[in-house]
């Protein structure tokens, strides 16, 4: 599903790739939507877990830059192909499966909360202003990353992704500078 997409992957493809019988597959998954939901949970938990670890260690702009560089470098391994696994799944299933859409929404909210936690640390350490709206900024970060993934996927180049994430970081730096200028 990562390479071919949900629509381009049949249950026969899954049976062949997993080397299980169709009856074994149906013992675990009632139908393709059930399998897709399981994929969403699995992929989502992996993505959020990785980001929890990486973003949880960010305490400075230098750390945020290292996170950005690792994100871009990882996406460059495939020349931007495939995009974000969560974003790709959301694009394919959100209009057809409300249960899957709900699971994806929850995963994106969990990812956004990781950015909120990071930005909350920045506020506590006076890196960004106390009155900065961390929820709004976190939404902007998720949007920049997702938009960056999409642009990199279509261009087969991570430069647009780097620009999108850099814009979000630059916005934070400007907030910090305004705070310093006001002091």
Tokens 């990812």 sit at which residue?
A: 111
The domain containing residue 176 runs over which residues? 36-182
Residue 154, domain CATH: 1.10.357.10
Q: Are 88 and 109 in contact (CB under 8 A)?
A: no
The reply to whether 89 falls in a domain is: yes
Contact assessment for residue 97 and residue 104, using Cβ atoms and an 8 Å cutoff:
no
Cα–chain center distance at 117: 16
Which pLDDT does position 163 carry in this prediction?
98
Q: What string of pLDDT tens digits covers the 183 residues of the chain?
A: 877 888 888 888 888 888 888 898 889 999 999 999 999 999 999 999 999 999 999 999 999 999 999 999 999 998 888 788 899 899 999 999 999 999 999 999 999 999 999 999 999 999 999 999 999 999 999 999 999 999 999 999 999 999 999 999 999 999 998 877 876
pTM: 0.88
Tokens 């998720």 -> residue: 142
> Does residue 163 lie in a domain region?
yes
Residue 20 covered by a domain: no
pLDDT of residue 44: 94
* Residue 96 vs residues 23, 42, 83, 85, 121: alpha-carbon distances, Å: 25, 20, 20, 18, 38
Length, in residues, of the chain: 183
Please check whether residue 147 lies inside any domain of the structure.
yes
């Amino acid at each position: 599903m990562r390479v071919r997409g949900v629509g381009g992957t049949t249950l026969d493809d899954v049976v062949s790739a997993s080397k299980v019988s169709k009856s074994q597959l149906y013992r675990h998954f009632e139908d393709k939507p059930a399998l897709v939901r399981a994929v969403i949970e699995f992929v989502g938990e992996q993505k959020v877990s990785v980001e929890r670890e990486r973003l949880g260690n960010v305490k400075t702009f230098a750390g945020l830059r290292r996170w950005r560089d690792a994100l871009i470098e990882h996406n460059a391994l495939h020349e931007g192909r495939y995009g974000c696994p969560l974003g790709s799944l959301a694009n394919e299933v959100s209009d057809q499966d409300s249960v899957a859409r709900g699971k994806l929404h929850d995963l994106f909210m969990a990812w956004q909360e990781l950015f909120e936690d990071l930005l909350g640390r920045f506020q506590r350490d006076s890196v960004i202003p106390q009155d900065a709206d961390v929820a709004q900024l976190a939404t902007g970060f998720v949007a920049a990353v997702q938009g960056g993934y999409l642009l990199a996927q279509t261009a087969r180049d991570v430069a647009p992704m780097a620009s999108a994430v850099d814009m979000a970081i630059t916005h934070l730096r400007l907030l910090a500078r305004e705070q310093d200028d006001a002091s």
